[in-house]
């Protein structure tokens, strides 16, 4: 990335089922884009098929890599930049890093309801999710780490090993 300055990540709301298209167009214009996916099993008439589906349908994350000429909102299928009070909502680098780490793993990630104050804030100390922080929930004897993206009010959860979890108040 050298001499280019890197801006923060922003959430972009896009038309339904246009995440891949918008991501490609933004990268062509000189932006860095990312949209996390998860694997979903779908039954076809004669077989089961595993598909990659957007983890947050209708959203792509984007940031500028230095000076770019293209405008995000002028990109086809872009609805808006997610903003609060007229100011674009920043998505923290650690949120994007966490989504990448979850996406790169073989653990089954699932979209879940946005929760900001449920459960205990924890940090994962070992294993493939080492360093991630989020909210711990328990479902059907499974411990799951919930990572929330405040800018789009969406969350994702991933199964974690109870032995790797440490409350953040202990750190």
Q: Are the beta carbons of 118 and 135 closer than 8 angstroms?
A: yes
Judge if 77 and 150 occupy the same domain. no
**What is the C-alpha separation between 117 and 168, in angstroms, rounded?**
14
Q: Is residue 99 part of a domain?
A: no
Judge if 120 and 84 occupy the same domain. no
Read off the pLDDT of residues 44-67 as tens digits, 9 standing for 90 and up.
Answer: 888 888 888 888 999 999 998 766
Q: What is the CATH number of the domain that holds 151?
A: 2.30.30
Judge if 84 and 27 occupy the same domain. yes
Judge if 25 and 62 occupy the same domain. yes
Judge if 127 and 75 occupy the same domain. no
Which positions ≥6 away from 137 have C-beta within 8 Å?
112, 115, 118, 119, 143, 144, 146, 157
Edge-to-edge strand list for the sheet holding 120-124 = 109-112, 154-160, 142-149, 133-139, 120-124, 165-167
Q: What is the mean pLDDT of residues 16-42?
A: 91
Min mean pLDDT across 38-47, 69-78, 87-96, 107-116 is at 107-116
Please check the confidence at residue 125 and state whether its pLDDT lies above 90: no
Q: Is residue 100 part of a domain?
A: no
Q: Is residue 98 part of a domain?
A: no
pLDDT grade, residue 1 (50/70/90)? very low
Count Cβ atoms below 10 Å from residue 18 Cβ, excluding itself: 18
Judge if 83 and 130 occupy the same domain. no
Q: Which residue has the tokens 């979903």?
A: 40
Q: Is residue 30 part of a domain?
A: yes
What is the reported pTM?
0.72
Range of the domain at 134: 106-170
Tell me the CB-side half-sphere exposure of residue 152, using CA atoms within 13 A: 28
Choose one of 38, 68, 91: the last residue of a domain.
Answer: 91
């Amino acid at each position: 990335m050298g001499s280019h300055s890197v801006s923060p990540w922003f959430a972009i709301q896009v038309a339904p089922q246009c995440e891949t298209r918008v991501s490609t167009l933004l990268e062509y214009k000189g932006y860095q884009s990312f949209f996390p996916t998860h694997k979903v099993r779908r039954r076809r008439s004669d077989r089961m098929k595993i598909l990659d589906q957007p983890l947050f349908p209708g959203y792509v994350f984007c940031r500028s890599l230095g000076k770019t000429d293209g405008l995000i909102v002028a990109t086809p299928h872009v609805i808006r930049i997610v903003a609060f009070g007229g100011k674009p909502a920043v998505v923290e680098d650690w949120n994007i890093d966490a989504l990448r780490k979850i996406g790169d793993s073989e653990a089954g990630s699932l979209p879940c309801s946005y929760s900001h104050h449920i459960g205990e804030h924890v940090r994962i100390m070992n294993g493939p999710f080492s360093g991630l922080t989020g909210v711990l929930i328990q479902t059907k004897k499974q411990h799951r780490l919930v990572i929330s993206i405040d800018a789009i009010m969406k969350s994702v959860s991933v199964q974690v090993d109870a032995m790797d979890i440490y409350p953040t108040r202990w750190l």
